Amino acid sequence: MISADMEGATGVTWAADVAPGTEQWQRFRRMFTGDVNACVSGLFAGGAVDVLVNEAHDSQRNLLLEDLDVRARMLTGRHKPLSMMQGIDGDVDGVVFLGYHAGAGCDGVLAHTYLANSITGVWLDGTPASEGRLNAALAAEYGVPVISVTGDDRACADAAEYAPDSHRVAVKECVSRYAAICTPPERTAAWISGAARAATALAGRGEPAVGPHRIEVEFDATHLAQAAAVVPTVEQVAIRRVGFDAVNMTEAMKAFKVVTAIASGAVEGIYG
């Protein structure tokens, strides 16, 4: 399975590059699709028999199905119970995080965690958590290893901590949140497919991780924490911070999704 996000795709450095409807987005969705195709071809070269692509960015309608490697299948569109990881509960032996990015409050191209702004940090069981770390914990609950991660160099450094065995590809070098030294897609495709091919050696489901998890979320404004604390099980633990416990990672991510939905709905135009 490939969980495909867009901020960490080849060439992307700017909000408009990943904002549906813009001219730049039309351009970068082709490069995003190219990254995915490179990964698909590497996985098949390594022995994969089926590849499901879960497109996981924004409206989740970015990849061009008509240009997708014919051997892959694509899950597109929103309202998926497991969000970026929908499909992980199926017959999956390994997952690639493609186009991933650093977490909220960290250095990295278009760094954020779920909400593009408003969230300044997320912690999973006390550790600062990017989308990659959260999704890796969710994959672990289904016994699925994270075999490869692509994104900027900061996303790769993050992945080295939560998935140390993964094959990582830095398609760009972060200079600031909106700037990077980029490499043309022809070269990054070779890197991505080479890593995917090697990563198939890591595929194979292990013992599912079990146990409860705690997530804490910090916002940039007090009223967002107050709004999120209305959700059952969620408590305000500091003036801009909420936390909640869940029996497992699947439930934790469902609650997290509600917290982000409520908080983003509470954002006011000018003051945030």
For Zn ion, the binding residues (CB under 5 A) are: 5, 131
Strand partners, 118: none
Beta carbon nearer to Zn ion, 5 or 35:
5
- HSE-CB at 98 with a 13 A cutoff on CA atoms is 35
Q: Which is nearer to Zn ion, 44 or 219 (CB)?
A: 219
E strands present in the chain: 2-4, 51-55, 72-75, 95-100, 119-124, 127-128, 146-152, 167-176, 179-182, 213-219, 235-238, 241-246
Using only C-alpha atoms, the chain has a radius of gyration, in whole angstroms, of 18
CB of 60 to Zn ion, least distance (A): 11
Q: Nearer Cβ to Zn ion, position 111 or 224?
A: 111
Closest to Zn ion by CB, 5 or 216: 5
CB of 112 to Zn ion, least distance (A): 7
- Nearer to Zn ion among residue 98 and residue 228 (C-beta): 98
Beta carbon of residue 241, minimum distance to Zn ion (angstroms, whole number): 21
How near is the Cβ of 263 to Zn ion at its closest, in Å? 16
Nearest partner of 68 among 30, 96, 99, 94, judged by Cα: 30
User: Cα separation of 158 and 57, whole Å?
Assistant: 19
Q: How far is the CB of 43 from Zn ion (least distance, A)?
A: 21
Q: Which residue, 96, 65, 78, 71, is CA-closest to 3? A: 96
Whether residue 185 contacts residue 11, with contact meaning beta carbons closer than 8 Å, is answered with yes
- Of 210, 176, 148, which Cα lies nearest the Cα of 1? 148
Q: How many CB atoms lie within 10 A of CB 103?
A: 25
Q: What is the closest distance, in whole angstroms, from the C-beta atom of residue 131 to Zn ion in the complex? A: 5
Cβ closer to Zn ion: 5 or 55? 5
Could you give the CA distance from residue 126 to residue 260 in angstroms, rounded to a whole number? 19
Is 166:149 a contact under the CB 8 Å cutoff? yes
In the complex, the smallest distance separating the C-beta of residue 207 from Zn ion, rounded to whole angstroms, is 28
Strand partners of residue 51: 72
Pairing assessment for the beta strands 213-219 and 241-246 based on DSSP bridges: antiparallel
**Nearer to Zn ion among residue 50 and residue 123 (C-beta):** 123
